[in-house]
Amino acid sequence: MSIWLDDPKRLKPLVGQAHQVAMNMLRPISRKYDKAEHEYPKELDMLAAMIDGLAESGASEGAGAAGVKRSDEGDDGSVRNGTNLASVMSIAEMCWGDVGLLLSMPRQGLGNSAIASVANEEQHERFDGLWASMAITEPGTGSDSASIRTTAVRDGDEYVLNGEKIFVTSGERSDAVVVWATLDRELGRAAIKSFVVPKGTPGMTVERLEQKLGIKASDTATIRFEDCRVPADNLLGSPEIDVKQGFAGAMATFDNTRPLVASMAVGCARAALDLTRDLLAQAGVEVDHDRPGLVQSAAAAALLRLEADWEAAYLLMLQAAWMADNRRPNSLEASMAKAKAGRVGSDITLSCVELCGTLGYSEAELLEKWARDSKILDIFEGTQQIQQLIVARRVLGLTSAELK
């Protein structure tokens, strides 16, 4: 099956709608909530209701950062452009408006992608409409998700959770938290499962909200679990520990969320490129795409290089999402997209600040904000270094024990 990475015609109305939302609803309040860290953007309630209405009517597919669910249809050999591709394309447009506000959207949390990736059909139905954040990182574990120390012990019809999670996006605002915990530390990766813990569950406490460099509109929480009891059927997917499968069940979540994070970086970087191109034009700098950069000004040559880097990240993002829509394994491509987009997103936004000088560094424009916002997209959902390690293992055919 060949891969066709042109923008699907049927998704263009959705992308256009997302761009209009970004331009008319997110951009105007972007600076306001950057300055008012942890204040909930009430304007998003109306936007979330509108997206819900479009989704229920079938008029829009994949609007916002909804959890991406792979099709259950049989593989008949036809090419699909489905929810995954719609999601990354619309998210990129929304992040052209504001990354932090996109991450603050009700019912659009990264935990929703975890539910879509791992949950069984009954759980999909039961948790439909839930706003779920995702709690993976712990003090001392960093990017090594397999070394999770939070425990889940079966007690009758419940699991008892104990541990601490840090850097939980929307951890205070969301309806529930998808918590990664181990059923048996001695069994390593295979024993790690995810649990849906509703807000207000006794034993779950939001300890603090973090002060951050960027995405200030999005709350980032530290959450403690102390003898926190959740129903046994809130364990997503199968409770069985399959040592042969290892970490595969949990990693399916990342295969879906990493292209989403790549799309956030792509959208933020494109915002910086678009504004920089306009500001350079106002300063009399002409960028000619029909001539080599070597025969143009240094500023024009730099912008051409940044645009080429952006195009590569964009295509990798589309490839990872397209493969998921077409039921093809995409772990390698998801990590490649996330690694490339995360790195060039940071490079592009900071380079645009430099190209625009005092205008780029000051709050007169949003360039400095985009440079701050983009850095997290190279860190969360697996750092740049972790993605490169995953890519190397896949390409060389080595296990995590063979290549660390």
List active site positions.
Answer: 381
Compute the C-alpha angle 232/237/243, nearest 5°: 100
Q: How far apart are CA 357 and CA 371, in angstroms?
A: 13
Q: How far apart are CA 56 and CA 54, in angstroms?
A: 6
Q: Is the torsion defined by CA of 367, 370, 372, 374 positive or negative?
A: negative
Match 């409770």 to its residue by tokens. Answer: 239
Helix, strand or coil for residue 77? coil
Q: Are 6 and 79 in contact (CB under 8 A)?
A: no
Spatial neighbors of 255 by CB under 8 A, at least 6 apart, are 117, 324, 330, 331, 334
Q: Are 91 and 108 in contact (CB under 8 A)?
A: no
Q: How far apart are CA 96 and CA 216, in angstroms?
A: 16
Compute the C-alpha angle 124/336/180, nearest 5°: 40
Match 């990475």 to its residue by tokens. Answer: 5
Range list of β-strands (E), 158-291 = 158-169, 176-182, 192-198, 204-209, 220-231
